[in-house]
């Protein structure tokens, strides 16, 4: 069985880039909101397993103190004109692009992904910051609404920031998930208290540092570190809104806690995303698209594909093309653009991927490519893996693997494909391939997922930030991007000014007569087509 190509590495793995000096790492760690005598935690670099960051650990008391500072700062920030907030976001946009080498090195060092995958996060933040900088004023401006009585009722919708938003961001996309949700919350006039995953906290802290360089007032964006079991309660008990990206199990608990407090929550959770290759698909493009869908960031991407459904009539041709491309992928550790697939991020993730594949093989699945860890490259590497003959009794059939593993299935017709694709509790992202764009979009509309890409893996929907992005079913609640991505961080208020006459009858008209007059008015308004 052929395997992915290995890029040679030294026994020690690549050295940290020159940008990541001890002084830089210490400076970033010093931005964590924690007491001077806080306990410390050390993270390791996935490429090598050697120690990387020494971070203070925040306590519930630290969280309380940070919220108090944030509430004071938020009042001034909310009073800052939206146009001024937008200027800060645009300066931040420029700083991220100008200093991208720093954050690319950080993301690779903390996460283990390839440089090309890290660069997509830079692109994402550039798009999001520009979008909300130039569209926030439109979304947040007072809007005239139709009143109860034409001409007599003046109704206006006003938007107020929630207050202090808690953002809990994951390790798999440490810049995108740390900054994109925060950008929208800040644009809406909120302060943000964020808990990034400790493994990738330096990347999040770098992003925050640049926002302050761009002009953000002190304490409007703060960060705490620590386990959710330790400080999660303090975050939930003090937040005015919760933005969470992570596992479905944790998301359910957050939804329950938010309901108890009667605050809002937006939850982007797990996925078991399908890709459908129709019988009229361009096979070479679909094969290339499948590689791009299944293996970015070593498969540690919420919108990546883990289930491939291929029309039976083109299965063999597609598999030949897909496997040829998969086996040519260069896997390894390097702080440049020469590697296609990087490392998994944590030992726990390697354990999950290994157990899922081993369980499937033990129960009869066939490995067409990959299927093994690569300790010769580094402690957490696993080859891009393609499986067939996967059955429902295998763990990876229905459960999210979150690694470079995909299962291939076939279908007879479009109805069969849609039924199989929708046979999951999840509903985050999907992909459909067809030479006929109209046919592809028609099939896409039948797939139960918050975003569906036609002739693309996931970047088309993700990068279309004017449109909402989020999950259905066990993949979450709420949306990021677009109008919903910023308005969820606001409280809508209706101000209605009644002129001349309201719903109560004038003193000289009896209630019966007034009821008859209002009934006639309602009928007239309907006849006139008034909405």
Nearest partner of 139 among 496, 490, 480, judged by Cα? 490
Whole-angstrom distance, CA of residue 403 vs CA of residue 48: 19
Note whether 263 and 395 are same-domain residues: no
Domain identity same for 290 and 181: no
Distance CA 354, CA 339 (A): 22
Residue ending a domain, choose from 432, 465, 498: 465
In a domain, 48, yes or no: no
Burial category of 438 from C-beta neighbours within 10 Å (exposed 0-12, middle 13-18, buried 19 and up)? exposed
pTM: 0.95
User: What pLDDT, in 10s, does the model give residues 21-54?
Assistant: 999 999 999 999 999 999 999 999 999 999 999 9
pLDDT digits (tens, 9 = 90+) for 59-94: 999 999 999 999 999 999 999 999 999 999 999 999
Same domain, 116 and 243: yes
Q: How far is CA 257 from CA 250, 254, 456, 475, 530, in A?
A: 11, 5, 37, 18, 43
**Is residue 4's pLDDT more than 70?**
no
Domain count of the chain? 2
d(CA 171, CA 257): 23
Cβ-proximal residues to 8 (8 Å cutoff; 6+ apart), any chain: 332
What share of the chain in percent tops pLDDT 70? Answer: 98
Q: Which helix (H) or strand (E) holds 260?
A: helix 248-261
Contact 114, 7 (CB under 8 A): no
296 — pLDDT class (breaks 50, 70, 90): very high
Please indicate, yes or no, whether residues 277 and 265 belong to a single structural domain of this protein: no
Using CA atoms, how far residue 328 sits from 3, 31, 339, in Å, is 8, 42, 11
- Residue 406 sits in the same domain as residue 287: yes
SS3 content of the chain, % helix, strand, coil (to 5): 45, 20, 35
Do 220 and 331 lie in one domain? The reply is no
CA distances from 305 to 70, 73, 295, 404 (A): 39, 42, 8, 9
Q: What's the CATH code of the domain at 181?
A: 3.40.605.10
Across 142-167, average pLDDT: 95
**Is residue 237 a contact partner of residue 148, using CB atoms and an 8 Å limit?**
no
Residue 334 domain flag: yes
The position carrying tokens 């402690």 is 379
302 is catalytic: yes
On the question of pLDDT at 405 being above 50, the answer is yes
pLDDT at 7 over 90: no
Strand, coil or helix: what is 21?
Answer: coil
Give DSSP secondary structure letters for 113-150.
Answer: --HHHHHHHHHHHHHHHHHHHHHHHHHHS-EEE--SST
| Lowest model confidence (mean pLDDT) among 7-16, 223-232, 384-393 | 7-16
Q: What is the dihedral of CA 103, 104, 109, 114, to 10 degrees?
A: 160
- 183 within some domain: yes
Q: How far is CA 338 from CA 6, 7, 48, 114, 122, in A?
A: 11, 9, 18, 9, 18
Residue 127 pLDDT > 80, yes or no? Answer: yes
Least confident span in 104-108, 150-154, 307-311, 313-317: 150-154
Query: What H or E segment, with its residue span, contains residue 255?
Result: helix 248-261
DSSP 3-state of 19:
coil
Do 312 and 416 meet the contact criterion of CB atoms below 8 Å apart? no
* 121 within some domain: yes
Q: Alpha-carbon distance 48 to 189, whole Å?
A: 41
Buried b (16+ CB within 10 A) or exposed e, 189-225: bbbbbbbbbbbbbbbbbbbbebbbebebeebbbbbbb
CATH number of the domain that residue 378 is part of: 3.40.309.10
Residues 6+ apart with CB under 8 A from 258: 236, 242, 264, 265
Q: What is the pLDDT of residue 117?
A: 98
Residue 466 DSSP SS3? coil
Question: Does the structure show a pLDDT above 80 at 6?
Answer: no
Predicted pLDDT at 485: 98
User: Based on the domain organization, do 177 and 219 belong to the same domain?
Assistant: yes
Q: What is the mean pLDDT of residues 459-471?
A: 97
Asked if 345 and 233 sit in the same domain, the reply is: no
- On whether both 234 and 378 belong to a single domain, the answer is no
Please, what sign has the CA dihedral across residues 262, 266, 272, 275? Answer: positive
- Burial class from Cβ neighbours inside 10 Å (0-12, 13-18, 19+) for residue 307 reads buried
Residue 502 domain-assigned (yes or no): no
Three-state DSSP state, 280: coil
The count of other CB atoms within 10 Å of the CB of residue 377 is: 21
* For range 462-480, the mean pLDDT: 97
Catalytic residue among 110, 121, 294, 302: 302
Q: Which domain holds residue 261?
A: 59-269+483-490
The answer to whether 387 and 405 are in contact (CB under 8 A) is yes
Give per-residue pLDDT as tens, 172-207: 999 999 999 999 999 999 999 999 999 999 999 999
- Enter the DSSP assignment of 95: H
Residue 1 placed within a domain: no
Model pLDDT for residues 216-266, shown as the tens digit of each residue: 999 999 999 999 999 999 999 999 999 999 999 999 999 999 999 999 999
With a cut of 90, say whether residue 5 has pLDDT above it.
no
In a domain, residue 373? The reply is yes
CA distance 526 to 531: 8
Query: Of 110, 121, 268, 456, which residue is the catalytic one?
Result: 268
Q: Are strands 451-454 and 429-433 parallel, antiparallel or unpaired?
A: parallel
**Where residue 11 falls among pLDDT bands split at 50, 70, 90?**
very low
| Coil, helix or strand at residue 328 | coil
189 with 85, same domain?
A: yes
Segment among 289-298, 407-416, 449-458, 496-505 with least mean pLDDT: 496-505
Statement to judge: residues 241 and 318 lie in one domain: no
Lowest mean pLDDT across 275-279, 355-359, 509-513: 509-513
DSSP 473: G
CA distances from 528 to 204, 516, 523 (A): 56, 18, 9
Same domain, 264 and 286: no
Q: Does any domain span residue 53? A: no
* Number of alpha helices (DSSP H) and beta strands (DSSP E) in the chain: 18, 20
Could you give the CA distance from residue 428 to residue 483 in angstroms, rounded to a whole number?
A: 19
State the pLDDT confidence band at 8, using cuts at 50, 70 and 90. Answer: very low
CB contact set of 139 (below 8 Å; sequence gap of 6+): 159, 483, 486, 487
């Amino acid at each position: 069985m052929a395997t992915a190509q290995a890029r040679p590495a030294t026994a020690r793995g690549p050295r940290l880039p020159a940008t990541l000096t001890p002084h830089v790492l210490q400076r970033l760690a010093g931005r964590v909101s924690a007491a001077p005598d806080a306990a410390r935690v050390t993270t390791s670099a996935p490429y090598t397993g050697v120690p990387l960051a020494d971070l203070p650990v925040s306590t519930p008391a630290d969280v309380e103190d940070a919220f108090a500072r944030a509430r004071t700062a938020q009042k001034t920030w909310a009073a800052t004109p939206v146009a001024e907030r937008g200027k800060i976001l645009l300066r931040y946009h420029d700083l991220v692009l100008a200093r991208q080498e720093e954050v690319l090195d950080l993301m690779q060092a903390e996460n283990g992904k390839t440089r090309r995958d890290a660069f997509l996060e830079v692109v994402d933040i550039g798009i999001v910051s520009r979008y909300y900088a130039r569209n926030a004023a439109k979304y947040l401006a007072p809007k005239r609404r139709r009143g109860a009585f034409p001409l007599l009722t003046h109704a206006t919708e006003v938007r107020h920031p929630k207050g202090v938003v808690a953002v809990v961001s994951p390790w798999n996309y440490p810049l995108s998930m740390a900054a994109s949700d925060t950008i929208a919350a800040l644009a809406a006039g909120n302060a943000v208290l964020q808990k990034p995953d400790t493994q990738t906290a330096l990347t999040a802290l770098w992003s925050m540092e640049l926002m302050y360089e761009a002009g953000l007032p002190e304490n409007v964006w703060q960060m705490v570190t620590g386990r959710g079991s330790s400080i999660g309660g303090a975050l939930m008990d003090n937040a005015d809104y919760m933005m969470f990206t992570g596992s479905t199990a944790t998301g359910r608990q957050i939804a329950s806690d938010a309901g108890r407090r009667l605050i809002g929550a937006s939850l982007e959770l797990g996925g078991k995303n399908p890709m459908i290759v129709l019988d009229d698909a361009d096979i070479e493009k679909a094969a290339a698209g499948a590689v791009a869908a299944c293996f970015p960031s070593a498969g540690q991407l919420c919108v990546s594909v883990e289930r491939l459904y291929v029309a039976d009539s083109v299965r063999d041709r597609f598999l030949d093309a897909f496997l040829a491309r998969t086996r040519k992928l260069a896997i390894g550790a390097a702080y440049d653009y020469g590697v296609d697939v990087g490392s998994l991020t944590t030992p726990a993730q390697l354990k999950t991927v290994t157990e899922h594949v081993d369980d499937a093989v033990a129960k009869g699945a066939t490995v067409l490519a990959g299927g093994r860890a690569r300790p010769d490259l580094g402690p957490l590497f696993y080859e891009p893996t393609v499986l067939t003959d996967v059955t429902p009794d295998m763990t990876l059939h229905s459960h999210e693997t979150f690694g470079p593993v995909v299962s291939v299935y076939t279908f007879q017709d479009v109805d069969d494909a849609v039924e199989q694709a929708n046979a999951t509790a999840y509903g985050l992202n999907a992909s459909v391939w067809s030479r006929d764009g109209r046919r592809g979009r028609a099939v896409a509309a039948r797939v139960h997922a918050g975003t569906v890409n036609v002739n693309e893996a996931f970047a088309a929907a993700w990068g279309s930030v004017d449109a909402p992005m989020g999950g259905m079913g066990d993949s979450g609640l709420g949306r990021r991007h677009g109008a919903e991505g910023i308005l969820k961080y606001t409280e809508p208020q209706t101000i209605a000014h009644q002129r001349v006459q309201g719903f109560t009858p004038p003193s000289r008209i009896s209630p019966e007569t007034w009821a008859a007059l209002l009934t006639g008015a309602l009928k007239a308004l309907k006849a006139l087509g008034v909405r």
